[in-house]
Copies of this chain bind each other. A is one copy, B any other.
Amino acid sequence: MNGFLPSGSTRLFPVVGDPIAQVRSPGAITRILERRGIDAAVVPMHVAQADLPRLFDTLLAVRNLDGLLVTIPHKHAAVFACATLTEGAAFVGAVNVVRRAPSGWHGDNTDGRGYVDGLAQNGFAVIGKRVLLVGAGGAGSAIALEMLERGAAQVLIHDRDETRRDALIAKLAERFPGGVTRGSADPSGFDLVANATPMGMQPSDPLPVDVSRLQSSQFVACAVTKPEVPPLITEARRRGCRTMTGAGMFDAQAEILTDFLLEEDMKTAYRGTC
């Protein structure tokens, strides 16, 4: 048999989620690690939210385990399992990856970078552009922050939860005065229309924007990975728009996550007994 097989010296990077069967990182990131010549694997761990703090704490004692990936619904709870956070993760209040650091787990959030890198790889640069972003949750916060940091001219944010929307706008406005304000479901006039909500995963979901107003000059992106082509993307393509699906975001993100997991502070701290 060819290909990857674990050995006694394989290092582990679990991905924690609930459910877990849908995650693509075990295959995709294990393959990237192998391509980089590293004997390590991403393996799934299906765990309920209430068990997350204990799991993170216990896994600090596993010496060949230097980091974890975090997926739905644990990205928020994982913040509290971290000893330190990157500025971006602290701003967003959500973590999608942690690695071993001297004081415990060090958490980051790469969702924004993955999304904006994915857009760039699909031919859309955010610098100087007007963006309508739907969703002010963890993913939306990370994406909005990253777009503004990379020079988007203006980001308008739309969310049915108005309290959440206004809180995110207020936080972003402190750092980017004039760069962010309220949006609506009307996509008219934007260079980019970006969905960062789960809307589109269920057949009964409403569309995140009024697709009848889309123009072929607009770029439309959607973070949903299942179905592979969600309804927003189908409608956008029907109107001649360029598009990016959740897979585009995922592919860009996989390399970013691998880089973070392999960074150098990872082998220095063991809370477990030596």
The residues of A with any CB-CB pair to B shorter than 8 Å are 1-10, 12, 15, 20-27, 30-31, 34, 41-51, 54-55, 58-59, 61-65, 272-274
Q: Which of B8, B12, B25, B55 interacts with A61 by CB under 8 Å?
A: B55
Scoring A2, A15, A20, A34 by chain B CB atoms within 10 A of each residue's CB, the highest score goes to: A20
Q: How far is the CA of A31 from the CA of B1 in the complex (A)?
A: 9
Contact of B26 with A47 in the complex, beta carbons under 8 Å: no
Q: How far is the CA of A98 from the CA of B40 in the complex (A)?
A: 24
Closest B residue by C-beta to A43: B6
Contact of B47 with A63 in the complex, beta carbons under 8 Å: yes
Contact of A26 with B5 in the complex, beta carbons under 8 Å: yes
Contact of A50 with B273 in the complex, beta carbons under 8 Å: yes
A1-B1 contact given A23-B8, A45-B65, A48-B61, CB 8 Å threshold:
no
A39 → chain B closest CB, angstroms: 10
Q: How far is the CA of A47 from the CA of B43 in the complex (A)?
A: 18
Q: How far is the CA of A43 from the CA of B5 in the complex (A)?
A: 9
A61-B47 contact given A8-B22, A27-B5, CB 8 Å threshold:
yes
Which residues in B have their C-beta under 8 angstroms from that of A2?
1-3
Interface pairs A-B: 6 shortest CB-CB: A3-B3, A50-B273, A6-B26, A51-B61, A58-B58, A8-B23
Contact of B272 with A45 in the complex, beta carbons under 8 Å: no
Closest B residue by C-beta to A55: B58
Contact of A1 with B47 in the complex, beta carbons under 8 Å: no
Scoring A3, A24, A46 by chain B CB atoms within 10 A of each residue's CB, the highest score goes to: A46
Contact of B45 with A30 in the complex, beta carbons under 8 Å: no
Scoring A25, A62, A272 by chain B CB atoms within 10 A of each residue's CB, the highest score goes to: A62
A162 → chain B closest CB, angstroms: 32
Q: Which of B3, B23, B41, B45 interacts with A62 by CB under 8 Å?
A: B45
Closest B residue by C-beta to A272: B51
Q: How far is the CA of A15 from the CA of B5 in the complex (A)?
A: 14
Q: How far is the CA of A21 from the CA of B6 in the complex (A)?
A: 11
- 30 intermolecular pairs with C-beta atoms under 8 Å apart: A1-B31, A2-B2, A3-B3, A3-B4, A3-B5, A5-B26, A6-B27, A6-B42, A7-B26, A7-B27, A7-B44, A8-B15, A8-B20, A8-B24, A8-B26, A8-B44, A9-B21, A10-B44, A12-B43, A12-B45, A41-B43, A47-B63, A48-B61, A48-B273, A49-B273, A50-B272, A51-B62, A51-B272, A54-B61, A55-B61
A26-B1 contact given A47-B63, A61-B48, A273-B50, CB 8 Å threshold:
no
Q: How far is the CA of A48 from the CA of B274 in the complex (A)?
A: 7
